[in-house]
Amino acid sequence: MAFKTEYLKEVMETVIKRNPAQPEFHQAVREVLESLEPVIIKNPKLQENGIIESLVEPERVITFRVPWVDDNGKVQINRGFRVQFNSAIGPYKGGLRFHPSVYEGIIKFLGFEQIFKNSLTGLPIGGGKGGSDFDPKGKSDREVMAFCQSFMTELSKHIGADTDVPAGDIGVGAREIGYMYGQYKRLRNEFTGVLTGKGLTYGGSLARTEATGYGLCYFTDAMLKDNGKSFEGATVVISGSGNVAIYATEKATQLGAKVVAMSDSNGYIYDPEGIDLAAVKQIKEVERKRIKEYLNYRPNATYTEGCSGIWSIKCDIALPCATQNEINEESAKKLVANGCYAVAEGANMPSTPEAIDVYQSNGLLFGPAKAANAGGVATSALEMSQNSMRYSWTFEEVDAKLKNIMVNIFNNTRDAAAEYGMPGNYAAGANIAGFLKVASSMMAYGVV
């Protein structure tokens, strides 16, 4: 799809010129601006007030050196990032990603998406994201701790419970959050809700671990039901075997589906009788091993090297929960050919623009990441509320709030798409619904 207005063409050209060699960021901006075009045409004040130009420029980008010492006594240097993208509706909020592929363009794409996602939750949180090119895989606990402490030593100068509240993402789970929170507390001598995804004994929220995967299924369930379908009896393929994938598998199964495949960055497992999630949890959460080990628990399952083949498995519903651009046009066509009727994104931007075109031109139901995976950040915002109140809700209370938020996100997404003449286009609906609240706050502030 191309831009119809000269104005947006120029904004996009400026983004590319100002942020060279950051294709993921360009991809995320283009996708959002294309669907905002009807809103921009209808509201000339947005252009007069430079709202779009402001929106695509982060409020602040922080890059820093992270020195630490490995188990051989050698000094290692990584690069740390925090992009504080937009604080129009609340403190910056968004995860930290530790993965060798991390560079400024990845953090900017994630931070930009986070603005709309956070707005969609209906909670008062702005958009940010951070991380490092550090790879926790294969490192000892001591090495991970040394890295996290060094990372937080710098990051602590830029964050705070009312300023910027990071959380986990790829490569950052309970262990990493614990080390970082401990270091923050030590440096600042304060016990505040500066990170979310904390352990339950020091301010974490029940159901935060499950929230993104469960939330994805609540959103998908609402989308399916609105279109006369359901998880009951459906065959589901889920990529990844990390936090989001594991809890998406758990909830989809509870809702009556059979999950038959999962993956990691080496390959995928196929278990036509349904994934044994206890085995996956043991391998991934306890032993931190490769998904291939699953065959030790279920010898009748198969393992295939390489990730993209997972999309050639026949399924009704596909839930990509690993990483960006994991479904390309070819994989999307395979899903369609095998009769898949719904794709909902647990990972951020897992479908390429060409893959999304394939879903939409073949009438698949498509739940875009910024709506479908917003349950994690929504529950993080609930963790912030509990920290501020010095109070804890029960698992059932948090889960009920999460479910309610996800159903509201689906309804708002559907209604915004219909209002702007694109019924059923939930990708456009999510961008529009998320944008309107942020834009209205930015207008209220004047030129800031």
CA distance 325 to 347: 9
Please give the Cα distance from 68 to 151 (Å, whole number): 9
Of 108, 117, 129, 284, which one is the catalytic site residue?
129
Binds ligand NDP by CB under 6 A, chosen from 118, 243, 352, 425:
243
| Interaction between residue 264 and ligand NDP (CB under 6 A) | yes
237 forms part of the interface with ligand NDP (CB under 6 A): no
Which of residues 347 and 430 has its CB atom nearest to ligand NDP in the complex? Answer: 347
Which residues within the stretch 143-182 sit at the binding site for ligand NDP (CB under 6 A)?
A: 168-171, 173
Q: Does 94 bind ligand NDP (CB under 6 A)?
A: no
Distances (CA, A) of 333 to 90, 272, 306, 328, 360: 40, 22, 18, 9, 11
CA distances from 183 to 7, 81, 177, 399 (A): 46, 18, 10, 30
Which part of the chain contacts ligand NDP (CB under 6 A), choosing from 43-51, 52-60, 235-243, 431-439? 235-243
Q: How many residues bind ligand NDP (CB under 6 A)?
A: 24
CB atoms < 10 A from the CB of 39, how many?
A: 18
Residue 132 is a binding residue for ligand NDP (CB under 6 A): no
Q: Does 83 bind ligand NDP (CB under 6 A)?
A: no
Q: Scan for tokens 């790879």, then name that residue.
A: 135
Which residue of 88, 107, 279, 321 would you call a contact of ligand NDP, by CB under 6 A? 321
Interface map 186-225 toward ligand NDP (x if CB under 6 A):
--------------------------x-------------
Residue type at 206?
L
Q: Evaluate the CA torsion angle 409, 410, 415, 416 in order and state its sign.
A: positive
Does residue 343 belong to the site contacting ligand NDP (CB under 6 A)? no
As a dihedral over the C-alpha atoms of residue 349, residue 222, residue 169, residue 269, rounded to 10 degrees, the angle is -80
Residue-by-residue DSSP string for 329-384:
HHHHHHHHHTT--EEE-SSSS-B-HHHHHHHHHTT-EEE-HHHHTTHHHHHHHHHH
Residue with tokens 């073949």: 362
42 annotated active-site:
no
Nearer to ligand NDP, 91 or 346 (CB): 346
β-strand partners of 254:
none
The answer to the question of residue 372 lying near ligand NDP (CB under 6 A) is no
Query: Of the two residues 319 and 433, which places its CB atom closer to ligand NDP in the complex?
Result: 319
Catalytic residues: 129
Which positions touch ligand NDP (CB under 6 A)?
A: 168-171, 173, 212, 240-245, 264-266, 307, 321-323, 346-348, 373, 376
